[in-house]
Chain A
Amino acid sequence: ELKVEQNPLFLSMQEGKNYTIYCNYSTTSDRLYWYRQDPGKSLESLFVLLSNGAVKQEGRLMASLDTKARLSTLHITAAVHDLSATYFCAVDQRWGGTASKLTFGTGTRLQVTL
């Protein structure tokens, strides 16, 4: 059974600082997603990582995927308060001509303080 773990579970950081959230998963997969969730809201897609070595950047967030290490990272550069949210990684176990199945990580609640 696929297990997806994130750390840290909770992260309090000051504005302007950098930090990395880690997502480890237990079985082979080439597809990983990062989502943002604000309290009481739905899941907003941030990044789709489709191959080993994939790196994507949007604003202050950068995501990467190392399929050999079964590790993805979400790096936050110069955090701002607006980034406060819960971040989930999700691994897709099936794709390509069949319905996919996302297994979500435990989530990292990010709080950016002034």
Chain B
Amino acid sequence: EPEVTQTPSHQVTQMGQEVILRCVPISNHLYFYWYRQILGQKVEFLVSFYNNEISEKSEIFDDQFSVERPDGSNFTLKIRSTKLEDSAMYFCASSEQVPPYEQYFGPGTRLTVT
């Protein structure tokens, strides 16, 4: 069964460093998403992406964040200068263009900023 994959599974970085989180969505999906979950809290929407541009972003997704689809298979989330409060689990998801538009989530990348 097709699935969303993410790398790395765990990333440790120092405050102020740039990180890139990688995702490979399901191959026939056209909508891509990033969500984050701070430990013990609910899952929060960050951004949606379609047709090579951002469809919508939340207020969390400030200028320090960017997304890119550098080739036909990868979808990346970049954090330019990490802060301690960026420590969280980041989930990538993708969905089809036809009903029921269900989102399928990847296994997540745990980001730890020290």
Contact = CB atoms under 8 A, between A and B. Distances in A.
A, B in one complex: yes
Interface residues of B, number: 26
Contact of A45 (B35, B99, B101, B104): B104
Interface of A: 31, 33, 35, 40-43, 45, 48, 50, 88, 90, 92, 94-107
Interface of B: 31, 33, 35, 42-45, 48-50, 55-56, 91, 95, 97, 99-108, 110
B100 to A, nearest CB: 6
Contacts of B33: 99, 102
A99 B105 contact: no
A42 B107 contact: yes
A102, A106, A107, most chain B CB atoms within 10 A: A102
Contacts, number: 61
B50 A99 contact: yes
B104 A101 contact: no
A99 B48 contact: yes
Contacts of B107: 41-42
B54 to A, nearest CB: 9
B106 A48 contact: no
A99 B100 contact: no
Contact of B42 (A31, A42, A107): A107
